[in-house]
Structure 1
Amino acid sequence: MTLLSVNLNKIAVLRNSRGGNEPDIARAAATCIEAGCGGITVHPRPDLRHVRPNDVRLLASILRGRVEYNIEGNPFAPPRGEYPGLIALAREVRPTQVTLVPDSDGQITSDHGFELAQDAERLRPVVDQLRQLGCRVSLFVDPGATGFEHAVALGVQRAEIYTGPYAHAFAEGDAKEQLELCVETARRAQQAGLAVNAGHDLSQANLGTLRVAIPGLAEVSIGHALIGEALYEGLANTVRNYLQILR
């Protein structure tokens, strides 16, 4: 079964908007785990707009030995204030997986992936360090990406397909072209020897179609829609609904 990793960034956004500790990100993680999710995802950024380094450390102490821990981020973003850098955080908490994303402060959310042939040499020392820490390494890639042999040569183990365009097309009522692009990208990655993850704007409405279309989909990382739906359905119930779709 495809693993569901719940992204808790939006919990941190709500907390940060008011200050203090509510909603409690640790309690949210525990609720998701008790409901059956297989992983927790966070994406700390240098500007501290949502999940912060201390959240990353706290969650590591809660999750270890229970579910997978996936930390996303830009490995080339330098340390700033409380943010020590992605590699430094990974060295501290030793997550199960680190998903490398080429985002910047100016982006509201991640909206594009790496160019594998172009970025390979720049990524090589990053991947080497993460593998030495015992982390599985995944690269965020666009639908339609090619050059997965470059990722394999670096020691990368997974590719996460950016599903934002698919989700947008689904909402507009015609996802056929974008779905086929995701399927073909997954096929290329798998043929090169990578496992395939998917994430961004996935929801209860569009997840089932994607899951059926991509055999062997290893993991989906879902946050924005899941937390939004949980406002109406409750967090535990929403996680269980996603797990039922993945079954």
Structure 2
Amino acid sequence: MTKLSVNVNKIATLRNSRGADFPNVVDVSKDIESFGAEGITIHPRPDERHIRYQDAYDLKKIVTTEFNIEGNPIQSFIDLVLDVKPTQVTLVPDAIDAITSNAGWDTIKNQDFLKEVIAEFKSNGIRTSVFIDTDKKLIEAAATTGADRVELYTEDFATQYALGNKEAIKPYTESAIFATELGLGINAGHDLSLDNIEFFAKNIPNLLEVSIGHALITESLYLGLENVINMYKYKLKTK
């Protein structure tokens, strides 16, 4: 079954908006796991506008499922990941001022850099994943970086699916098959939601993990966090 990893960045955003420690990211993450999620994801950014670097240390102590830290591998991020040693690190080529992730890696142009960073993470026992678009040339280059997995960047699928274009799934299906043939595991994330997750999962072979934050937390405002997590798990099971 595809694992659900919940991104708790939005919990941190809400906490930071009042300058205190409520809601507490650690407590909410414990609840998320108890509700059935198979992982916790965080995406710290240099300005710490939502997740703070300290949150990574605090969460490492309590996460009992899989702990995924994603972000741009600038030196401070690399140092954090090597110190915390999460289950998985997902490398994302964010600009420092990016509001949210908006592109996958050019794994051809950044081949040498990614090889170096990934080798260091893997030598420390950390599974590595590369955030990537569906271009097969880029996926092929991702395989030669030494990465364990790729995370398919799903914004275009989500946008097109909302417009009724189910054909938008095709490049993702083809990319997943190709990546599997190259020995890469398949993760996915960005704008996946209760509206599109079942269709997406049914059409992506060997989908190991989805990382969902913004939609899941937003949906929980109406339906409740425990209920929403179990709705996702049900939709992922029925693929």
Q: TM-score range by the shorter chain?
A: over 0.9
> For the residues of structure 2 that align with 1:58 and 1:71, how far apart are their CA atoms?
13
2:90 maps to 1:128: no
Post-superposition Cα deviations, 1:180-216, rounded to whole Å, max 9, x if no partner, equal 1111111111111101000000001100001000111
**What SS does structure 2 have at the residue aligned with 1:151?**
helix
**What SS does structure 2 have at the residue aligned with 1:190?**
helix
**What SS does structure 1 have at the residue aligned with 2:97?**
coil
The aligned runs of 1:173-192 (5 Å cut-off) are 173-176=164-167, 178-192=168-182
**What SS does structure 2 have at the residue aligned with 1:240?**
helix
> For the residues of structure 2 that align with 1:145 and 1:119, how far apart are their CA atoms?
16
**What SS does structure 2 have at the residue aligned with 1:117?**
coil
Amino acid at match of 1:231: L
The answer for the alignment partner of 2:62 in structure 1 is: 62
The answer for the alignment partner of 2:70 in structure 1 is: 72
The aligned runs of 1:158-177 (5 Å cut-off) are 158-176=149-167
> Where do 5+ consecutive residues of structure 2 fail to align?
none
CA contact (8 A) 2:42 2:68 kept: yes
The answer for the alignment partner of 2:133 in structure 1 is: 142
CA contact (8 A) 1:144 1:184 kept: no
> For the residues of structure 1 that align with 2:232 and 2:139, how far apart are their CA atoms?
29
Cα shift at 1:3: 0.5
CA contact (8 A) 1:146 1:188 kept: no
The answer for the alignment partner of 1:223 in structure 2 is: 213
CA contact (8 A) 2:118 2:128 kept: yes
The answer for the alignment partner of 1:212 in structure 2 is: 202
Cα shift at 1:115: 1.4
The aligned runs of 1:1-247 (5 Å cut-off) are 1-63=1-63, 66-75=64-73, 77-78=74-75, 85-176=76-167, 178-247=168-237
How many residues align? The count is: 237
CA contact (8 A) 2:8 2:40 kept: yes
> For the residues of structure 1 that align with 2:21 and 2:91, how far apart are their CA atoms?
28
Q: Identify the range of structure 1 (167-176 vs 92-101) with the bigger mean alpha-carbon deviation.
A: 167-176
Instruction: Report runs of 4+ in structure 1 exceeding 2 Å deviation.
Output: 143-154
CA contact (8 A) 1:115 1:145 kept: no
The answer for the alignment partner of 1:82 in structure 2 is: none
Amino acid at match of 2:7: N
Post-superposition Cα deviations, 1:7-36, rounded to whole Å, max 9, x if no partner, equal 000000111111100111111101110011
Amino acid at match of 1:54: Q
Distance 1:15 1:145, change over 3 A: farther
> For the residues of structure 1 that align with 2:40 and 2:87, how far apart are their CA atoms?
10
Amino acid at match of 1:88: D
> For the residues of structure 2 that align with 1:241 and 1:147, how far apart are their CA atoms?
33
The percent identity for this pair of structures is: 44
Cα shift at 1:145: 4.1
Distance 1:218 1:8, change over 3 A: same
